[in-house]
Amino acid sequence: MLLNSIYRFRFSVIPGGLISILLLLLAFAVFYILFLSIHSNDFYSSLITNRTLGLVKFTIYQAFLSTVLSIVIGTLLAWALAHQKSFKGRSYLIALLSSSLILPTLIVVFGIITVLGQNGWLNRTLLYLFDYSFENSIYGLGGILIAHVYLNASFAARSLLHVFESIPKERYKLAKSLNFSALQRFRLIEYPAIKLSLRSISSTIFLLCFTSFAIVLTLGGSPSYNTLEVAIYEAVRIDFDIPLALKLALIQLSITMVLVFLSANFKAGISNIKTSSTIIPWNETKKLRIFQIFIISFLTFLFITPLISIVVDGLGADFKRIFSDEVFLKSLLTSLAIATVSSILTVIFALLISDARRNFNIKHRIKESKARSFINILIAFSGNIYLAIPSLILGLGFFLFSQKFEASISLWAFGAVLCANILMSLPFALSILYPPMLNIAQRYDKLCFSLNLKGNKRWLYCEWPYLKSSVLYVFALSFCLSLGDLGVIALFGSDEITTLPWYLYSLMGSYQTKDGAGVALILLVLTLSVFILLPRIFTRKNNA
């Protein structure tokens, strides 16, 4: 019965099913090459050492602190924004918070160093006004936490704001009638509404911080602040200690698999249907309103200052020299080419996987059964492999393949970077495209069947009108994520193959701060232009 149903919808199931199988085979191949490379007899006996235990402890410790700080600050900002809807620039602030997801981590790091570094804006201002400066370095645990909180608190605030705005107005009226204080209102009305979302967002942030690479690499400052990802990079790139890299990769894979399994039980309670923005028909008390405005103003200032520093310092760079540098031009063209190809493939893969997966979630297509549920889980997991296999471990797998199979290292590097970028963007693409594709099938299947709309005709007249804005958003998002990634390229980066993030990291490592500021500004403008302007231009053309 199941096979008959699959055969009936074979043109919908097979393309996405084959892509899912290829992704699962890729994951298996990475696991296989890692275990195949383990040939030492004392590998498992020396797996857990004081060094590896220290790496695991610090990785978990910094991820835990980053998650707690990000959630506390993000919740405060979302709460303040939800209750202050009338100030000018609110929509722009929310859009800026949304863009934090696609900001290249090296841009954030560069901006933080510019503001808080030893010779940063803050120290220079203190020296000028009070003849005093902070002696503590931005490098170390403090710098890692600041960068993680910068990126993840804004992500948490944007995600939680929707939940706050979806709380029914009647609950606030009840709180008002019972004369609740702000603390009682939060504890009894708002916290129960956001509790499920907090769990989901916390688990996501913890995974992101646990597998963080670029931030720890640039702001760690010493081996005592290394995480597993950075230790793997140093073992391969600096020490060429492949056995050590394999041990660390095995430990990280084991932990991330457990984390992904545990986080799968946390489902966000965010509805896709937004309510009427819950406008509360009374003003907050004066003290509370001042406190909320202060939170918004202070956190906004902290968020935009590193971006402003990049613009200000970047405008002072010698762009003529930068654009005449062959390595920069090569890095720019390589980044644009990889980002374009990976974005197109991400969109195609996400559409085909979503098309295949919805067959196993619609009763009138394939009836419920254990086999249907199992296939559905496999397809869903194939699109979220990146959560279990971070980019650096994927890069290590490709590096080991390059040692066993003769081919140009540039070809292996290009393939590794392309695969990493696709896998990194695919979970976001699927979360955006799958829900509307499922809704379209549930709503219009019977009409399409009665009109005999199939294949290209169904896509053109039924699917595309509803999906075009989401498809372009996914393309822009994937493009920006690929453009700013410093993961796999850290293992393969050289004069032969280089990207903008790797070029910027090289400038920062050689203390060429002026040129680095210019490249950072170029990368920032490229990222924000694609993410913000491209979807708007497309929308205007369709509305014209």
Task: Provide the pLDDT for residue 69.
Answer: 95
Task: Please provide residue 327's backbone torsions phi and psi, each rounded to the nearest 5 degrees.
Answer: -65, -40
Task: Provide the pLDDT for residue 268.
Answer: 43
Which of 12-26, 31-45, 311-325 is predicted with the least confidence, judged by mean pLDDT? 31-45
Write out the residue range of the structural domain in which residue 247 sits.
41-315
Q: How far apart are CA 379 and CA 159, in angstroms?
A: 26
- 206 and 367 in contact (C-beta within 8 Å)? no
Q: Which CATH number covers residue 249?
A: 1.10.3720.10
Burial of residue 414 (number of CB atoms within 10 Å: 0-12, 13-18, 19+) = middle
Measured torsion, CA atoms of residues 69, 71, 72, 78, in degrees rounded to the nearest 10? 140
Query: Largest alpha-carbon pair distance within the chain?
Result: 80
Which of 81-85, 142-146, 278-282, 398-402 is predicted with the least confidence, judged by mean pLDDT? 278-282
Residue at 397 is within a domain: no
Closest CA to 504 of 217, 138, 120: 217
DSSP H stretches of helix in 84-190: 90-99, 105-116, 121-130, 141-165, 169-177, 182-185
Task: Please provide residue 268's backbone torsions phi and psi, each rounded to the nearest 5 degrees.
Answer: -65, 140
Token pair, residue 459, equals 């896509």
Task: Please provide residue 30's backbone torsions phi and psi, each rounded to the nearest 5 degrees.
Answer: -65, -45
Which of 151-160, 391-400, 519-528 is predicted with the least confidence, judged by mean pLDDT? 391-400
What average pLDDT does the segment 289-317 reach?
Answer: 89
Task: Provide the pLDDT for residue 273.
Answer: 34
CA angle 346, 454, 467 (to 5 degrees): 40
Dihedral angle sign, alpha carbons of residues 408, 413, 416, 422: negative
Q: How far apart are CA 502 and CA 504, in angstroms?
A: 5
Closest CA to 140 of 87, 78, 218, 195: 218
Token pair, residue 89, equals 């620039």
- 237 and 490 in contact (C-beta within 8 Å)? yes
Residue at 412 is within a domain: no
Q: How far apart are CA 419 and CA 21, in angstroms?
A: 15
Q: Is the pTM of this model over 0.85?
A: no
Residue at 208 is within a domain: yes
- 268 and 200 in contact (C-beta within 8 Å)? yes
**% of the chain at pLDDT higher than 90:** 11
Residue at 543 is within a domain: no
Task: Provide the pLDDT for residue 336.
Answer: 92
Question: How many domains is the chain partitioned into structurally?
Answer: 1
Which stretch, 139-148, 154-163, 449-458, has highest mean pLDDT? 139-148
What are the pLDDT digits (tens) for 61-96? 999 999 999 999 999 999 888 888 777 778 888 878
DSSP 448-512: HHHTT--HHHHIIIIIHHHHHHHHHHHHHHHHHHHHT--STHHHH-SSSS--HHHHHHHHHHTT-
What are the pLDDT digits (tens) for 465-508? 888 888 888 898 899 888 888 777 877 767 677 888 888 888 88
Q: How far apart are CA 187 and CA 193, in angstroms?
A: 10
Mean pLDDT over all residues of the chain? 81
Residue at 132 is within a domain: yes
Which of 47-51, 181-185, 269-273, 335-339 is predicted with the least confidence, judged by mean pLDDT? 269-273
Residue at 32 is within a domain: no
What are the pLDDT digits (tens) for 233-283? 888 777 777 777 778 888 887 887 777 766 655 544 433 334 345 556 566
Q: How far apart are CA 228 and CA 252, in angstroms?
A: 7
Task: Provide the pLDDT for residue 542.
Answer: 54
Q: How far apart are CA 83 and CA 81, in angstroms?
A: 5
Q: Is the pLDDT of residue 41 over 70?
A: no
Give how far the C-alpha of residue 371 lies from the chain's centroid of Cα atoms, to the nearest Å.
32
Token pair, residue 59, equals 């990785």
Residue at 157 is within a domain: yes
Q: How far apart are CA 527 and CA 523, in angstroms?
A: 6
Task: Provide the pLDDT for residue 73.
Answer: 94
Residue at 194 is within a domain: yes
Token pair, residue 107, equals 């841009």
- 488 and 416 in contact (C-beta within 8 Å)? yes
Residue written as tokens 């995600």? 159
Residue written as tokens 């095995």? 250
Residue written as tokens 């004392």? 42
Q: Please give the DSSP secondary-structure letter assigned to residue 284.
A: P
Token pair, residue 425, equals 């963007």
What average pLDDT does the segment 93-106 reach?
Answer: 81
Q: How far apart are CA 404 and CA 10, in angstroms?
A: 37
pLDDT tier at 58, thresholds 50, 70, 90: very high
Length of the chain: 544
Round to the nearest angstrom and report the end-to-end CA distance of the chain.
49
